[in-house]
Amino acid sequence: MPQTGISNKKPIRVGVIGVGRGQSFAQGATDVVGMKLVALCDIWEERLKEVGDRFGVATYTDYDAFLSHDMDAVVLANYFHEHAPFAIKALRAGKHVMSETTACKTMAEGVALCRAVEETGKIYMLAENYPFSSANQEMRRLYRSGEIGEVRYAEGEYNHAAEETWRLSISPGLKHWRNWIPPTYYCSHALAPLMCITDTLPVSVNALSIVEPSTQSPDRVKVGDAGAILLLRMDNGAVFRIFGLCLSSIHRVRYEIHGERGLLATAEPDHWSTVRVHHEEWLRHEDQPLSRTYRADWPEHGDLARSAGHGGGDFWTSFHFARTIRSGKQPYLDVYRGVAMAAAGIEGWRSCLQEGIAIRIPDFKKEKERCVFENDHWSPYPEDTGPGQPPPSIRGYVAPNRPAVSRARKVWKSLGYQLPRSKQRGL
């Protein structure tokens, strides 16, 4: 029986923080998923009013006031590295939480987030959307059926090649997180589908960072490195190779899972829905073709999923969040898996800064393992700079030159990102 006090007929009242990316979640609060949008929160007052008027809901610029609104759940779509403190405060205010990636920016935040979920008993779901594409859902079904045996090696790739003017348009401000993020931190799009398909967790990481001097500083204001390779040892002994994030070569999303008796992979031309299955001749069963490639679909709500963003993931995250609230059971993408992915990125960056040494990832379900990190506030972001803090690049901190900064500010001004000097937060 549900433990939430929300009947199956009563809509789950949800508030969303963030009126940029958050609009996708606002639109996803529908009768189909059993949710109703009741409030929005953001510090961008002009945009907040515009979006609030469009949805006809209450708006807040103060997060504490927002949490006092009569609602059951909060969706966090604020800046990438700012989710954990907001999630913890919402959980302690009695709200269920769905948080976009990353779950935490430091190991200490990860420990605190796990404890908050345990202490409050509220639902926490990581809104990582890539596992919900029809291709990845089909590979999950096939893998769980034993189609290729146990995974021994897998590859996940999320490389977001981007023209600089467009990149600047989503990175307003010299201190914006996208301009500082080390390439290991945004590993969830590449890693989460593999974890969900194979039901494995990372236990250690080796990583190397990749620089592109010709397309980084001095030509860009981005000071974090362009790309990285992570080698993750998983809890079943398998090795996963994770690649990304913003190398200029190609924009591509790709997954391959090598099992003891075959291969599962996404395939072109549409990685969201196309699956390839392969068995070598001496390993296949009589009723199995040597190789097959086909388009997969979801068993239900396909039309709604196809009209949503990120290969249907923007629909399914809200769908599963509502379902877990009603069931009273934590989702598959729970706090422990969410924090483990974040830890892979954090500890991966430690590895990069030490030329690829292996670093252990703790089991966040175990207090004995995670408590070691409860005061670990190691962070490469500009608001945390100081003694003992890491740089955002293996080159250290390479300041962008004046022409690059001047160009960036012109782009930001043309898009309306112009605040008084006292409030610019690095613009």
For the chain, the structural domain boundaries read: 12-130, 131-384
Token pair for residue 273? 């829905």
Sign (positive or negative) of CA dihedral 413, 415, 416, 419: negative
d(CA 225, CA 246): 8
Average pLDDT over residues 185-199: 98
Residue 5 has pLDDT above 60, yes or no: no
First to last CA, the chain: 50
Task: Kindly state the DSSP code that residue 399 receives in the 8-state scheme.
Answer: P
Residue 63 has pLDDT above 90, yes or no: yes
| Single pTM value for the model | 0.94
Average pLDDT over residues 378-407: 95
Mean pLDDT score of the chain: 93
d(CA 21, CA 129): 13
The model's pLDDT over 120-145, given as tens digits with 9 standing for 90+, comes to 999 999 999 999 999 999 999 999 99
> 12-130 and 131-384: same fold?
no
CB-based contact 38:15 (threshold 8 Å):
yes
d(CA 13, CA 373): 35
User: The domain at 131-384 falls in which architecture?
Assistant: 2-Layer Sandwich (3.30)
Residue 217 has pLDDT above 70, yes or no: no
What's the pLDDT at 423?
A: 39
Reported CATH class of domain 12-130: alpha beta
d(CA 331, CA 324): 6
Query: For residues 271-300, b (16+ Cβ closer than 10 Å) or e, as one string?
Result: bbbbbbbbbeeeeeeeeeeeeeeeebebee
Residue 418 has pLDDT above 90, yes or no: no
Average pLDDT over residues 67-95: 97
Q: In 3-state terms, what secondary structure has residue 316? A: helix
Query: For residues 177-189, b (16+ Cβ closer than 10 Å) or e, as one string?
Result: bbbbbbbbbbbbb
- What is the Cα gyration radius of the chain? 22
Task: Kindly state the DSSP code that residue 287 receives in the 8-state scheme.
Answer: T
Confidence tier at 6 by pLDDT (50, 70, 90): low
